[in-house]
Structure 1
């Protein structure tokens, strides 16, 4: 149960920012005794992988805050974030998945289930984020991009930390994010309706 919550939290975080949960999981596996990465995910704690993830995180951090560039980045991340979600769910859920040497055995043993679950969770969060960002950018002429991006980064960091250290709180954080998403979406819809009425 706790493993599934940890994996879900990390995958949801990956839907907001692909590199934050990967980096968090890798750093935790390297420096925190409580987190033991499965053998198949030990590479995440390699120093070169951590440096690479750090560089990618900086690029993502900047690109996601620039209007228009953030839209292009979101399209590119449609492949990256779900892949990240699969990796972190697999590692965060402490699955016994090892390096895949025999694909038939991999599928027969159901080792693919956590990975596919992580992909699905991250993709769902990413698509919701992408839809919200498109509406917000249209209504604010891109001014909302840096604000929303910062909120998403904070959400990704929070989910990653809670998933690794306090998995039970993942439910609370996810619920808060859903409520925030609904409130922002309603506000944007109201603003769009006001704009449509204004010329008349």
Structure 2
């Protein structure tokens, strides 16, 4: 159960920023005993994987803070963030001794699918809200929100690794935030279609 919570937290973090949970898992596996990546996933903490991940993270941090460019970046990331969520969920559950005899080991694709779904949902909320934030703040909100998302991704990653039980609370807060943003997006779009519309 704890391994599943860790995977859920990491995949949700990947929905905000694909490369932060990947790099944290890679570095933790490389320099500590907290995670030992099993066969098939050991490449994650290799020099080349960490190097490429670092370069992509730097590009993501810059591009995601530029209005309009962030929307293009989010479109590209539609394929990357859910994939990373599936990978990191599967890697974290496979690395756990708890799941060595659990049903997830017998059905490894379950971890991948769950990771893709969780990361995809978070990414969808992020992608839908960003154009509204940019339009509502004349682009000023893009770097602020992007920085908050990066911090949130890092925080959720650390929680998932150190205190996975708290992932339940973190995901509940994230779900509330995504629902709130979705309602705001709907209200904003309805107001644009009908300027006379007065939200109740």
Same fold per superposition (TM over 0.5): yes
Pairwise CA distance, 1:142: 2.0
Between the aligned partners of 1:11 and 1:80, the Cα distance in structure 2 is: 12
Where structure 1 has 5 or more consecutive residues not aligned to the other structure, the ranges are 97-108
Pairwise CA distance, 1:138: 2.2
1:168 aligned onto 2:165: yes
SS of equivalent to 2:33 = coil
Kept after mapping to 2: 8 A contact 1:37/1:91? yes
1:114 aligned onto 2:106: no
Between the aligned partners of 1:119 and 1:191, the Cα distance in structure 2 is: 28
Range 114-123 or range 5-14, more displaced: 114-123
1:51 aligned onto 2:48: no
Where structure 2 has 5 or more consecutive residues not aligned to the other structure, the ranges are 97-105
Q: 1:98-150: per-residue Cα shift (whole Å, max 9, x none)?
A: xxxxxxxxxxx522111111111111110011111122122222222111111
CA change 1:117–1:181 in 2 (3 A) is closer
Q: CA RMSD in A?
A: 2.3
Query: Normalized against structure 2, the TM-score is what?
Result: 0.84
Query: Normalized against structure 1, the TM-score is what?
Result: 0.84
129, 134, 153: which one aligns with 1:132: 129
Kept after mapping to 2: 8 A contact 1:11/1:85? yes
CA change 1:113–1:95 in 2 (3 A) is farther
Between the aligned partners of 1:123 and 1:184, the Cα distance in structure 2 is: 16
What number of residue pairs does the alignment pair up? 186
Range 116-125 or range 139-148, more displaced: 139-148
Number of the residue aligned with 2:69 = 69
**Aligned pairs (5 A) from 1:1-200:** 1-94=1-94, 109-184=106-181, 196=195
